[in-house]
A and B are shown apart, each in its own frame.
Chain A
């Protein structure tokens, strides 16, 4: 695996076939991810339909400012990721490293802000379970909202952590000069993954933070 330029594994005919296979494989993987998060979205829909008032009430407990900042941070990170892929495609090694570093930084920022939000929820006793406290008629349904909130954002954050790990690995390979315009498949694949995780958040933000805030 140490040959630098175009590395075609023994079982492929050529580089094009290998890249096609990797791309299709990544898309198929993202389909499985959609189904994975799909279960959470289904649970969300079922309980939001059952407890609409509780959903509004609980949603107002979330910090829209922090959530909004995080949305902007993630969208920006998708831009830097796309620029990193472009840099790899054009063989600009320095650009690749800079944009990967920026993406990691933005991903880290997102996770940091998320951790602050989680900390607030712990302090406010909004973590479901024995310590959960909420005053009002809908307390039980609000607890379900927070169960789903933590499951959804927790799974999303886990994907972010994995994404940051993948980006760090790309950095390492990039610094070693592994990528060339002829072979940069891993950069592109991690890019697809990163955009996917980003898109999940773009759905999560309005569904969790903006319930009943229109008009």
Chain B
């Protein structure tokens, strides 16, 4: 297959200087701005995680006091959830790829896109300032009345930071929805769209429907904390459970903001490295929408022990089981895609296997938690902690790294070193499981979350977990080093190093600012890997 030659002028060298980056409206450059920012927050969150695991190495509270420990896990959660996991895939890979995959020159509202990065940064600066000024200790959930009446840490600055960053999320979602509706290339019908686009469309729906509710919740918490307006504090006549309803109405769907784009990435990768059309395309596409919609109706499963009515809990339990169905549809369809495929084991594909395995464990343990009786037993234990880390870290971060490797040649114009890639994927997988699998057992044995001390009999499992965390942390450092290295010293990438289907691979690496010299016309369905042009010669390895 002939490939366009590497261009002299592309989006990275079209102009230079700080101004050309900070005032850019090119979605690809904004994606890179986001890449830098979320990586910074990944490291901040990672440092707090290491401090938490370090404290839990021994049963006594010898490294820090309870109050300090509360701040550590709170700031770990806030940095990771609001400033890394939520924006990671949509704002980096989505920003870069949504216009490229649909044959557009940019997102529908380029200046809004830049504004969303600035909002993210303003929110991030508020949060960093609050961390430096002494931190916050409410847990990332900000439960009232502790957050509004009792905590004497920096609740308001952090809440304000999350509020502002939330608008960045809203604008990203709005931009994606309009872009996907109005900017598709000629011939690119809805059912020819890559599943990455379907996943981002579904994610955007959650962003625009959920995030405003978080925003108003934060406003109410701030009003109560600053002016003693009574909304949630029982001392003022309010209802703290109402806060939990508000909070989880956003924050449960927020989990799907993290996992749906990850699923989109996996669909692209699994098709490419199996050299097959994805099995059951329309089922995978609609399961994204189903997750987005049903995901809005399950928030009450966070409140089984919060005093909501048994009848409500029963309904939420059933709905939570239901949301597992579209997730399972995806897992089955990816597995079926592998069947009789020509599978190769490049780094991104290793992350795919990691994702499918870990997401399945995370999803299945989610069913344990949706079961009313069992949840009462494991609620607020390490079982929960292990479960959501399997989804968020084992799912989202695996897919994020897999996607970053897969599209790295397109983004940077350079190939990453394959051997190091495979090594780090392996280290991360091992480190992850060693960190979090023991936590399932700890939780089942009854170790509660959010305590800095624990009975001595839990030490062996905790040491395993802390050891795993250091392996995991090391594993994450390897790609950080070689990705930066490859930007300068990596082999120049051809336009389509994986012989992959998809419009983004028809344009040079790195792409020109306008993405496509000529607007492409789409004549084939997505993942047409059986076309002669994309069939690999016998015996070749990509």
Report whether B182 and A128 are in contact in the complex, using a CB–CB cutoff of 8 Å.
no
In the complex, residue of chain B having the shortest beta-carbon distance to the beta carbon of A148: B231
Minimum Cβ distance to chain B for residue A55 (Å) = 13
Instruction: Judge if A32 is at the interface, Cβ distance under 8 Å.
Output: yes
Report whether B212 and A11 are in contact in the complex, using a CB–CB cutoff of 8 Å.
no
Instruction: Judge if A93 is at the interface, Cβ distance under 8 Å.
Output: no
Residues of A close to B213: CB separation below 8 A: 35-36, 38-39
Secondary structure type dominating chain B contacts: helix
Tell me the A residues contacting B by CB distance below 8 Å.
9-13, 17, 20-21, 24-25, 28-29, 31-33, 35-40, 42-43, 46-47, 50, 128-130, 140-141, 143-144, 147-148, 150-151, 155
A143 to B219, CA, bound (A): 18
Residues of B close to A39: CB separation below 8 A: 212-213, 216-217, 220, 246
Secondary structure type dominating chain A contacts: helix
Residues of B close to A50: CB separation below 8 A: 239
Instruction: Judge if B227 is at the interface, Cβ distance under 8 Å.
Output: yes
Minimum Cβ distance to chain B for residue A166 (Å) = 15
10 closest Cβ contacts across the A-B interface? A39-B216, A36-B212, A140-B237, A147-B229, A11-B105, A11-B106, A35-B212, A21-B108, A129-B228, A21-B182
Residues of A close to B224: CB separation below 8 A: 147
Instruction: Judge if B170 is at the interface, Cβ distance under 8 Å.
Output: yes
Minimum Cβ distance to chain B for residue A58 (Å) = 12
In the complex, residue of chain B having the shortest beta-carbon distance to the beta carbon of A40: B216
Give B201-226 as 1s and 0s: 1 = Cβ < 8 Å from A's Cβ atoms.
00000001111110111011001100
Residues of A close to B246: CB separation below 8 A: 39, 42
Considering only residues 57-104 of chain B, those with a C-beta below 8 Å from chain A are 104
Minimum Cβ distance to chain B for residue A24 (Å) = 5
A146 to B365, CA, bound (A): 44
A105 to B110, CA, bound (A): 33
Residues of B close to A9: CB separation below 8 A: 110
Instruction: Judge if B318 is at the interface, Cβ distance under 8 Å.
Output: no
Report whether A28 and B231 are in contact in the complex, using a CB–CB cutoff of 8 Å.
no
Report whether B108 and A140 are in contact in the complex, using a CB–CB cutoff of 8 Å.
no
A94 to B324, CA, bound (A): 60
Give B234-250 as 1s and 0s: 1 = Cβ < 8 Å from A's Cβ atoms.
00111100100010000
30 A-B contacts (beta carbon < 8 Å) = A10-B105, A11-B105, A11-B107, A11-B110, A11-B183, A25-B108, A25-B109, A25-B178, A28-B174, A28-B177, A29-B174, A31-B208, A31-B209, A32-B174, A36-B213, A39-B212, A39-B220, A43-B220, A43-B242, A46-B239, A143-B237, A144-B236, A144-B237, A144-B238, A147-B229, A147-B230, A151-B223, A151-B229, A151-B231, A155-B216
What's the tally of chain B residues with a CB closer than 8 Å to chain A?
Answer: 42
A144 to B238, CA, bound (A): 7
Q: A10-B105, A140-B237 are in contact. Are A147 and B223 (CB under 8 A)?
A: yes
Report whether A24 and B229 are in contact in the complex, using a CB–CB cutoff of 8 Å.
no
Minimum Cβ distance to chain A for residue B75 (Å) = 26
Report whether A11 and B104 are in contact in the complex, using a CB–CB cutoff of 8 Å.
yes
Report whether B219 and A155 are in contact in the complex, using a CB–CB cutoff of 8 Å.
yes
Instruction: Judge if B181 is at the interface, Cβ distance under 8 Å.
Output: yes
Q: A24-B181, A46-B242 are in contact. Are A128 and B227 (CB under 8 A)?
A: yes
Report whether B230 and A140 are in contact in the complex, using a CB–CB cutoff of 8 Å.
yes
Report whether A35 and B108 are in contact in the complex, using a CB–CB cutoff of 8 Å.
no
A112 to B25, CA, bound (A): 39
Instruction: Judge if B525 is at the interface, Cβ distance under 8 Å.
Output: no
Instruction: Judge if B514 is at the interface, Cβ distance under 8 Å.
Output: yes
Report whether A143 and B174 are in contact in the complex, using a CB–CB cutoff of 8 Å.
no
Residues of B close to A140: CB separation below 8 A: 230, 236-237
A141 to B212, CA, bound (A): 26
Q: A38-B213, A155-B219 are in contact. Are A128 and B208 (CB under 8 A)?
A: no
Residues of B close to A43: CB separation below 8 A: 220, 231, 242
In the complex, residue of chain A having the shortest beta-carbon distance to the beta carbon of B519: A13
A146 to B210, CA, bound (A): 26
Among candidates A20, A42, A46, A144, residue contacting B182 with C-beta atoms closer than 8 Å: A20
A21 to B210, CA, bound (A): 22
In the complex, residue of chain A having the shortest beta-carbon distance to the beta carbon of B170: A32
In the complex, residue of chain A having the shortest beta-carbon distance to the beta carbon of B238: A144
In the complex, residue of chain A having the shortest beta-carbon distance to the beta carbon of B229: A147
Residues of A close to B217: CB separation below 8 A: 39
Minimum Cβ distance to chain A for residue B272 (Å) = 27
A91 to B406, CA, bound (A): 52
Report whether A21 and B183 are in contact in the complex, using a CB–CB cutoff of 8 Å.
yes
Minimum Cβ distance to chain A for residue B30 (Å) = 13
Among candidates B104, B182, B228, B237, residue contacting A141 with C-beta atoms closer than 8 Å: B237
